[in-house]
Structure 1
């Protein structure tokens, strides 16, 4: 009997901590996650990244086996040449003859080309829809448009979305069953507007359907799938699920407590369904399944919350009011409240940073601030917590009142975030991995254990 080559699927369950795993098992004792927790192996991990934690910085630490102090990846769509000494694990594997299939892992743009690449779909913040094989670009166009339109708050469904969805069905890229589930959810949104808060589940549902098709058809030896729908739910509804963290003992003191706390369970239900699919697949293939969160979340008490926030809707208006030449700047995807801008040269970087300081709120505080040092003329800016916003929607340019629409902004209202990033994450194995548990405390050291699975030596890896 021939020995099957090793294979590994990494399900990237972004930001889910042990607290949420325990909470879910309590509510779903017979779930796939519960079975995996009891029959496989589990450990709580920690990231050694410095500074404020972000998924677009910590996931590269997991993928590259070094902390952000070494790879220096700080924001979405920055130039990644700073990390060239520490390539992501899938590049190392592919060059060593291991077939790979990457689906949505953060900071994976542009598509990596190689003879052992079975499929490669970059993350949902990619600046364009390039993917491998090319037929996946149809899905990526749909995916990127949804991500762009639903920043911070869920927007209405456009005709373009329906057209693209129809093309995906016609080309047999997504299944009829997923279309039905999507349709049912949209009807629920019409019946009860609160269901818009669960829109992220639909994107995760569709994405996994596409991933599973390519995973089964092409059978890569190493594969990743990135899931973000639970992270967004935890950010919004940590207090609804864990009111005791805020000293709240009575449910009636929390608005929509039951609906919003159930949103976390429903988001976990979807992940559990997907994990169940992968468990069955790996049982048949005799392969490994890892569920990794990279890091986690915990309760956060925000003392400076504002009723309204600003969302940049028309970037051309912002450039115009700041007297900046739109030909010298290109806005590229970012996760709200960040704004990423590619500048034509260092001169235009400096001009941008100078002019954004002209916009202030009622307390004379800047509305836009530089978040990280520019990388190769790409600037990462954050929209600040703006004071004094109301329906009048007034801000200040050079101390003169202007309406926010003149600068390309619009007002949004959303649930206050009560969960935020923490260093502790989790990993679940589908088999007994007790021999590696002690060394798997640091979330980035999985890089080396993947080396062991594929029987590669440390010489293949440049890590410190």
Structure 2
């Protein structure tokens, strides 16, 4: 049995790992690639693939045909009872766990027994964390995520930043992280387009906090989630791999500006993986497992000048028949909009949504239990937006919607594919580079096998043993 560090490198496919190792032959990934246990993973999920349905498959050992998790902040009370996530299974089996940022980890567990630390994902509705001193950072992190969901917000919440600086020693920020972050803010002044890199620096700061908790508590099982490479691939795959498209619709200046952004984000991921490899070398009772729940590949796209977003949420809800006090906004990944509606307003809201059209097309939405709704927006490059509810036209100014100009003009130049990555590092491994293909749903039972915890009957059976050299 080994202690496990699960590094969740969201949506990174094998192609990007190979490309990175070729471009950076002296990187950690290039150094360890031939001495790791490798698995090419694929998700068996049906329908639209997204991180909010593929990570639950990996964490719970069942596909979306069983867990039905489709949106952030939907009520998971019953799902958690029937198909609990890996961290819940392990803590109930007596394994000490540290959880940092894994998706669908909010709200906090009612019992923190056997948790050494617990920091929910960036779509959490509140800043609650364990230990409590991390809440200062989580509050800052959540605010940055809300304000820079599509366009990176130019301002910085300085009051919260000062609180962070006061707590630098306790939170674990390294001096080179502080210096690197400061240099980034200066570079933005010289080259404003580099503001897009702030998303990556959120991850860098998060990793320092995570690493301090890891070193201090040394749990049996830990997770760390990062989306910074996935975000870059969606936007800039077209700049990195322009030859993969039948028609390149982006201007040369855009291609030249952003051609190295995926490499930049992978450099930062490689540095984190390097620190975890060194930690594993010093603590050989640990094993490092790097995985994604799916991947990305080229997706035909065009420059995105504008997208239709909700910029006045209360006006949007008023248009759909509800007044203040009858709903609660829930965090979501743009361009999705999540809202919890009180029972008395559910029927009215649903009826209005069913007649809500944009340029004659019905808006898409999903309704979950207890009045939780997810509405899909983000319509690109609209020359006009004709809004209608119940057959009545509504001006865009009254609708709460706005055609928002997109900062970097990036469209979705890469999108989700079933295939992902999974590789295990330990200093004792001496693999020959062979790679096994497994379903991502097999990773959870594989982890349970490592801890000698009984695999539930609903999970796939697997004989893989991560700890064997």
**Shift of residue 281, structure 1, vs aligned partner:** 0.4
Distance 2:119 2:353 in 1: 34
**Shift of residue 386, structure 1, vs aligned partner:** 5.6
Residue in 2 aligned with 1:407?
400
Aligned pairs (5 A) from 1:371-450: 372-385=366-379, 388-389=382-383, 395=387, 398-400=391-393, 402-404=395-397, 407=400, 409=402, 411-413=404-406, 414-431=409-426, 432=429, 441-450=438-447
User: Could you tell me the TM-score, scaled by structure 2's length?
Assistant: 0.89
Distance 1:403 1:252 in 2: 29
Residues 429, 388 of structure 1: alpha-carbon distance in 2 compared, 3 angstrom cutoff: closer
Deviations 1:439-463 (A, max 9, x none): 751112011221222233336x752
Distance 2:369 2:405 in 1: 30
Q: What SS does structure 2 have at the residue aligned with 1:389?
A: coil
Residue in 1 aligned with 2:36?
40
Distance 1:101 1:463 in 2: 23
8 Å CA contact 1:360–1:395 kept in 2: the answer is yes
Deviates more, 1:161-170 or 1:48-57: 161-170
Q: CA RMSD in A?
A: 2.5
The one of 89, 107, 111 equivalent to 1:110 is: 107
Residues 12, 433 of structure 1: alpha-carbon distance in 2 compared, 3 angstrom cutoff: farther
8 Å CA contact 1:313–1:410 kept in 2: the answer is no
Distance 1:202 1:377 in 2: 36
Distance 1:16 1:338 in 2: 22
Q: What SS does structure 2 have at the residue aligned with 1:197?
A: helix
Consecutive unaligned residues of structure 1, counting only runs of 5 or more, are none
The one of 84, 91, 96 equivalent to 1:94 is: 91
**Shift of residue 135, structure 1, vs aligned partner:** 1.3
Deviates more, 1:444-453 or 1:19-28: 444-453
Q: What SS does structure 1 have at the residue aligned with 2:361?
A: coil
Residues 110, 252 of structure 1: alpha-carbon distance in 2 compared, 3 angstrom cutoff: closer
8 Å CA contact 1:349–1:379 kept in 2: the answer is no
Residues 51, 433 of structure 1: alpha-carbon distance in 2 compared, 3 angstrom cutoff: farther
Residues 137, 297 of structure 1: alpha-carbon distance in 2 compared, 3 angstrom cutoff: same
Residue in 2 aligned with 1:80?
76
**Shift of residue 162, structure 1, vs aligned partner:** 2.6
Aligned pairs (5 A) from 1:187-266: 187-247=186-246, 254-266=252-264
Aligned pairs (5 A) from 1:8-407: 8-83=4-79, 84-112=81-109, 113-156=111-154, 157-169=156-168, 171-247=170-246, 254-286=252-284, 287-302=286-301, 307-345=305-343, 347-356=344-353, 359-361=356-358, 363-366=359-362, 368-370=363-365, 372-385=366-379, 388-389=382-383, 395=387, 398-400=391-393, 402-404=395-397, 407=400
Distance 2:3 2:292 in 1: 20
**Shift of residue 395, structure 1, vs aligned partner:** 4.7
Q: What SS does structure 2 have at the residue aligned with 1:376?
A: helix
Residues 58, 132 of structure 1: alpha-carbon distance in 2 compared, 3 angstrom cutoff: same
Distance 1:323 1:253 in 2: 43
Distance 1:18 1:154 in 2: 28
Distance 1:344 1:405 in 2: 23
Deviations 1:13-51 (A, max 9, x none): 000001111110110012111122112122211000111
Distance 2:455 2:250 in 1: 56
Residue in 1 aligned with 2:464?
none
Distance 1:245 1:404 in 2: 40
**Shift of residue 167, structure 1, vs aligned partner:** 4.0
**Shift of residue 101, structure 1, vs aligned partner:** 0.3
Consecutive unaligned residues of structure 2, counting only runs of 5 or more, are 461-469
Deviations 1:54-93 (A, max 9, x none): 1011101101111111111111000112422111111111
Distance 1:256 1:140 in 2: 34
8 Å CA contact 2:334–2:378 kept in 1: the answer is no
Distance 2:30 2:179 in 1: 28
Aligned length: 450
